[in-house]
Amino acid sequence: MSLTQQHSYRFGEFELSVGARCLYRDMEPVALGSKAFDVLTCLVVHAGRVVTKEEMLRTVWPDSFVEEGNLAQHVVALRRALGNQAGWIKTVPGRGYQFTADVRELALNGAPLAETTHGHAHLGEGVTVQHTVERAQLVIEESAPPPEVRAVPAAQRSLRRVFLYALLAAVVLGGAALVGWKFWRRQIARPYLRVTLADFVSGTGDATFDHSLKRALAIDLEQSPYLGIMTDADAVRVLKMMGRKGDDPLTPEVAAEVCERGNRDVLLTAGIEPVGSVYLLTLQAADCHTGKRLASAQAKARNREEILDAIDTVATRARTQLGEAAGSVAHYDKPIAEATTASLEALKDFSMGLSLFSEGKSEAEILPYYQRALQLDPQFAMAYGAIASTYYNASEQKLAAQYLQKAFDLRARTSAKE
């Protein structure tokens, strides 16, 4: 199905103009992202029948590989845009989505077509719309300006400008950072190592360590220009390729298979154990394909408050043993408490939010974790950035701009890479 057909559709108080790529509610434009608009068009064109997730992904992202989580996020944004009519988008578990509103195709002048029938009307190659039974009436009214020239309220124009300025600043800064990062990489003499990090093995019984320590170690290691840590999304993709669930724990055994199947170079395993009155942290690095040990490190923490310092220590030692120059390690080695947060609890919530995002969960499920992380540490710059991205995906541009600005204001509390 092509999404470029020049048609308009009316359902309830809404009008969808495919040609103008705009959704109107009572003649007022509704803010909607480009892909969210395409998802809505796909649902409206096939109103009344279940549209499978696979069909929607092929239609909206024809030339890209996109995870189902992306689709779910846009559906959440659509339901928010529809407000009280969010129930029109029905989730059919295990299959896809169904648009349940009565949809009418509009003629070029904006009036309903003269006749509609039960079933499906074909509008062109591969395009089908389900119609309801009704007969149109000729109504003479004052003419309304066409969709493409209807005025946008001044407040909305101002909001768009604010967000566009913030986005432009982010793009410029991101471009400069990317250029710097690539230049930095070109100075490296040794090969770039792609790393799979297993879940922390904890013998403490403290649930706070389950997610926070792995995230802290990953952020520590990512400061190195030599190392690339496998993302949560990549790990989920490989797990599914292995026939596992995306949220299966990355035990050392599972992580070893993920490392090999994901064509990575190094497997890192780490653990924490209570030894008397102290905590002992251990880290080992091995070749993904041969199992040969490449590095090992240990550090002790006298209490919970020193655990992040101990992670800094094992990360630094591992980087050195993997061949990184001492000058590079010293230059790109910001303590994790300064690069993210000194709160293990905040780090755990932040990590949970990132994991849920990688699994394709909705904004409503993800945001509480990021927000709780900020409650625990209001200076957590990366959490502000994550919230900004989540609101942007939900088409909440004003909130996204606010959190993006806050993240930028706190940029000193991040690593050089961040």
Distance CA 240, CA 100 (A): 32
Distance CA 122, CA 130 (A): 9
Q: Decide: residue 157, CB within 10 A, 0-12 exposed, 13-18 middle, 19+ buried.
A: exposed
Burial 259-269 (b: 16+ CB within 10 A, else e): beebebbbbbb
Q: What is the pLDDT of residue 396?
A: 86
Q: DSSP secondary structure string, 89-115?
A: EEEETTTEEEE-S--EEE-TTSSBPSE
Look over the chain and give the mean of its residue pLDDT values, rounded to a whole number: 80
- Listed residue (137, 358, 98, 144) closest to 245, CA to CA: 358
Read off the DSSP letter of residue 417.
Answer: -
Say if pTM beats, i.e. exceeds, 0.75: no
Structure-token pair, residue 95: 């299959």
Reported as half-sphere exposure (CB side, CA atoms, 13 A), residue 266 has a value of 25
At residue 129, does pLDDT exceed 60? no
Per-residue CA distances from 199 to 240, 256, 325, 416 (Å): 17, 11, 27, 25
**pLDDT tens digits, 49-95:** 999 988 898 888 887 776 777 788 889 889 988 988 889 999 988 78
Q: What is the pLDDT of residue 58?
A: 87
pLDDT band at 177 (very low <50, low <70, confident <90, very high): low
**pLDDT tens digits, 190-249:** 567 999 999 999 888 888 888 899 999 999 998 998 899 998 888 998 999 899 998 899
Q: What is the pLDDT of residue 148?
A: 41
| CB neighbours of residue 293 within 10 Å | 11
Structure-token pair, residue 287: 């070749």
Distance CA 188, CA 317 (A): 19
Read off the DSSP letter of residue 415.
Answer: -
Q: What is the pLDDT of residue 378?
A: 93
Contacts of 299 (CB under 8 A, 6+ apart): 280, 281, 310, 311, 313, 314, 317
Task: Please tell me whether residue 228 adopts helix, strand or coil conformation.
Answer: strand
At residue 133, does pLDDT exceed 50? no
Vertex 53, ends 51 and 55: CA angle to 5°? 65
With tokens 């990590």, the residue in question is 351
| Domains and their CATH numbers in the chain | 8-135+145-151 (1.10.10.10), 153-187+340-418 (1.25.40.10), 191-338 (3.40.50.10070)
**Is residue 347 within 8 Å of residue 220, measured between CB atoms?**
no
